[in-house]
Amino acid sequence: MQAVKRVSLSQRISNFLFLRPRLFLALLLLPPILWLGVVYLGSMLTLLIQSIFYLDDFTGQVVREFTLRTYGELFTQSNLDIIGRTAGMATAVTLAAVLLAFPLAYYTTMHATRRSKALLYLSVVLPLWSSYLVRVYAWKLILAKEGIISWFFTQTSLSWVLEGLLRLPGIGGPSLSISPIGMFLVFVYVWLPYMVLPIQAALERVPASLLEASEDLGANALVTFRHITLPLAFPGVVAGSIFTFSLTLGDFIVPSVLGNSSFFIGQAVLSHQGTSGNIPLAAALTTVPMAIMALYLIIARKLGAFEAL
Partner 1 sequence: MNHNRPPLLLRIAALFVLLFLNLPVWIIALYAFTTDETTYTFPLPGITARWFSVAWNRADMWQALSLSVRVAGIATLLALVIGTLAAAAVSRSKFFGRESISFLLVLPIALPGIVTGIALRSALGLMEIPFSFWTIIVGHATFCIVVVYNNVLARFRRTSWSLVEASMDLGANGLQTFRHILLPNIATALLAGGMLAFALSFDEVIVTTFTAGQQSTLPIWIFSQLTRPRDRPVTNVIALFVIVITSIPILLAYRFTQQGDLAEERKK
Partner 2 sequence: MQPAISFVNVSRHFGEVRAVDDITLDIMDGEFFTLLGPSGSGKTTSLRMVAGFERPSKGEIYLHGANVSQLPPYERAVNTVFQDYALFPHMSVAENISYGLMIRKVPKAERMRRVEEMLALVRLPNLGGRKPSQLSGGQRQRVALARALINRPPVLLLDEPLGALDLKLRQQMQIELKIIQQQVGITFVYVTHDQEEALTMSDRLAVFNNGKIEQVGSPSEIYERPGTAFVAGFVGISNLISGSAAEAIAGSSESFAVRPEKIHLAEAGTPVPDGRLSADGRVRQVIYLGMYTRYTVELDLGGELTVVHQNLETTSMDVLAARGKRVRLMWNRTHMQPIGD
Q: How far is the CB of 4 from partner 2 (least distance, A)?
A: 9
Name every residue whose Cβ is closer than 8 Å to that of residue 30 and which is 6 or more positions away in sequence. Answer: none
Q: How far is the CB of 169 from partner 1 (least distance, A)?
A: 26
Binding part of the chain for partner 1, among 65-73, 77-85, 159-167, 245-253 by CB under 8 A, reads 245-253
Binding part of the chain for partner 1, among 66-74, 119-127, 165-173, 230-238 by CB under 8 A, reads 119-127
Binding part of the chain for partner 1, among 73-81, 165-173, 230-238, 262-270 by CB under 8 A, reads 262-270
Q: Which does 19 bind (CB under 5 to 8 A by kind): partner 1, partner 2, none?
A: partner 2
Nearer to partner 2, 14 or 123 (CB): 14
- What residues numbered 185-214 form the site for partner 2, per CB under 8 A? none
Binding part of the chain for partner 1, among 11-19, 70-78, 164-172, 230-238 by CB under 8 A, reads 11-19
Distance CA 16, CA 10 (A): 10
Q: Three-state SS string across the chain, please?
A: CCCCCCCCHHHHHHHHHHCCHHHHHHHHHHHHHHHHHHHHHHHHHHHHHHHCCEECCCCCCEECCCCCHHHHHCCCHHHHHHHHHHHHHHHHHHHHHHHHHHHHHHHHHHCCCHHHHHHHHHHHHHHHHCCHHHHHHHHHHHHCCCCHHHHHHHHCCCHHHHHHHHHCCCCCCCECCECHHHHHHHHHHHHHHHHHHHHHHHHHCCCHHHHHHHHHCCCCHHHHHHHHHHHHHHHHHHHHHHHHHHHHHHCCHHHHHHCCCCCCHHHHHHHHHCCCCCHHHHHHHHHHHHHHHHHHHHHHHHCCHHHCC
Q: Which does 68 bind (CB under 5 to 8 A by kind): partner 2, partner 1, none?
A: none
Closest CA relative to residue 277, chosen from 50, 12, 10: 50
- What residues numbered 2-41 form the site for partner 2, per CB under 8 A? 3, 14-15, 18-19
- What residues numbered 160-179 form the site for partner 1, per CB under 8 A? none
- What residues numbered 201-230 form the site for partner 1, per CB under 8 A? 201, 204-205, 208, 211, 221
Nearer to partner 2, 20 or 145 (CB): 20
**Does residue number 96 form part of the binding site for partner 1 (CB under 8 A)?**
no
What one-letter code names the amino acid at 69? R
Q: Which does 70 bind (CB under 5 to 8 A by kind): partner 2, partner 1, none?
A: none
How far apart, in Å, are the Cα atoms of 185 and each of 86, 251, 255, 268?
A: 15, 14, 12, 21
Nearer to partner 2, 18 or 160 (CB): 18
Q: Residues 134-153 vs partner 1: string with x where CB under 8 A?
A: xx-xxxxxx-x-xxx-xx--
Binding part of the chain for partner 1, among 65-73, 74-82, 163-171, 285-293 by CB under 8 A, reads 285-293
Would you tell me how many other CB atoms lie within 10 Å of the CB of residue 202? 26
Nearer to partner 2, 13 or 291 (CB): 13
Q: Which does 113 bind (CB under 5 to 8 A by kind): partner 2, partner 1, none?
A: partner 1
- What residues numbered 31-50 form the site for partner 1, per CB under 8 A? 31-33, 35-36, 39-44, 46-47, 49-50
Q: How far is the CB of 117 from partner 1 (least distance, A)?
A: 8
Distance CA 97, CA 90 (A): 10
Which residues sit at the interface with partner 2, rule CB under 8 A? 1, 3, 14-15, 18-19
